[in-house]
Amino acid sequence: MLNIDLTGRRALVAGVADDGGFGFAIAKALAEAGATICVGTWPPALNIFRNLLERGKMDESRKMADGSTLNFEKIYPLDAAFDTLADAPEEVRSNKRYKELGDFSIDGMVKQLTADFGSSSLDIVVHSLANGPEVKKPLIDTSRAGYLAAISVSAYSLVSMVSRLAPLMRKDGSFISLSYMAGERVIPGYGGGMSTAKAALESDTRTLAYEAGRRHGLRVNTISAGPFASRAASAIGIIDTMVDYCAGNSPLPQPLTATEVGTAAAFLASPLASGITGTTLYVDKGYHSMGMAVDRGTPGTM
């Protein structure tokens, strides 16, 4: 039997703050395959996340197939808008949700990982990070600040993480990010520069795959996932409409589950995908292949 075996490997999943999104599903799938899991969590959500864990609110979702429980080796504060602590403005550093956390930048997380586990201690990095403060605005109405904020957190942060984390990665390590079809096609309502950020993320995936492959022997891929009604996605404002529309117009006419994205990521992170890099993998029930809506009885539908 051909199995996904990640025993002895350590994963960092950046962008986990609850049990309802793709980041958590990927972390759980990697753990099911044998990996140990560290996570990076946005500081404003960190206390809530820790409280959910401590009070047992996530006990059911953390149960794995063998009866064990998904545990996190470390939970790091991470605001991916900042490469270094010095990049964060004083009003952020002095904010009550930040000031007691130490270095919450990408560089700070890397330093803490190194202190906790040493060099050559990481095998898998998952970038499950996105933020568009003006995502509800049409692109034509998006401010420069909102546009650049979307690009910064949703795309450039991958570049920063690959640059800083690659030296910690062991041989045949893997980076995985999460994209969305809005980077290729118009999705009305998905605004604020987020469509641009996803296009940049996919372009950067190809370039980083070349550069990190040649320099460090690492793989870099992205998953273009279909819409999913996570808590974070509720910020879009039309997520339920997006889910229903895609389910009604996909070759496999049902909503996407987070588990399906999680298991796809586990495959990409595994030795079974050793020949795959620089790739955008669609996990969307086949919606990306469609060129005409079928939910209104288009001829030829079953």
Query: Domains (ranges, CATH) in the chain?
Result: 10-284 (3.40.50.720)
Average pLDDT rounded to a whole number, residues 163-179: 97
Q: Would you mind telling me the total number of residues written for the chain in this entry?
A: 302
> Residue 297: what pLDDT?
58
Element containing residue 290 per DSSP (H, E): none
Rounded Cα distance, 235 and 65, in Å: 32
What whole-number percentage of the chain has pLDDT above 70? 95
> Residue 231: what pLDDT?
67
171 exposed, middle or buried (CB, 10 Å; 0-12, 13-18, 19+)? exposed
Rounded Cα distance, 4 and 260, in Å: 15
Of the pLDDT bands very low, low, confident and very high (cuts 50, 70, 90), residue 97 is: very high
| Residue 190 annotated in active site | yes
The mean pLDDT of the chain is 94
Average pLDDT rounded to a whole number, residues 210-220: 98
Average pLDDT rounded to a whole number, residues 277-291: 95
Active-site option among 98, 147, 156, 180: 180
| Residue 210 annotated in active site | no
Rounded Cα distance, 246 and 37, in Å: 32
CA dihedral (161, 166, 167, 169) positive or negative: positive
Residues 6+ apart with CB under 8 A from 223: 176, 177, 178, 179, 261, 264, 265, 268, 280, 281, 282, 283
> Residue 46: what pLDDT?
97
Residues 6+ apart with CB under 8 A from 86: none
90-99, 107-116, 127-136, 225-234, range with the lowest pLDDT = 225-234
> Residue 294: what pLDDT?
85
Q: Is the pLDDT of residue 1 over 80?
A: no
Average pLDDT rounded to a whole number, residues 141-148: 98
> Residue 243: what pLDDT?
87
Alpha carbon separation from 101 to 78, 152, 176 (Å, rounded):
10, 22, 26
Amino acid letter, 90: E
> Residue 240: what pLDDT?
84
Model pTM score: 0.94
pLDDT of 154-168, one tens digit each?
Answer: 999 999 999 999 999
Of the pLDDT bands very low, low, confident and very high (cuts 50, 70, 90), residue 298 is: low
Residues 6+ apart with CB under 8 A from 47: 97
Rounded Cα distance, 127 and 203, in Å: 15
3-state secondary structure of 209: helix
Average pLDDT rounded to a whole number, residues 96-111: 97
3-state secondary structure of 51: helix
Active-site option among 190, 245, 282, 287: 190
Give me the residues paired with residue 127 across strands.
14, 177
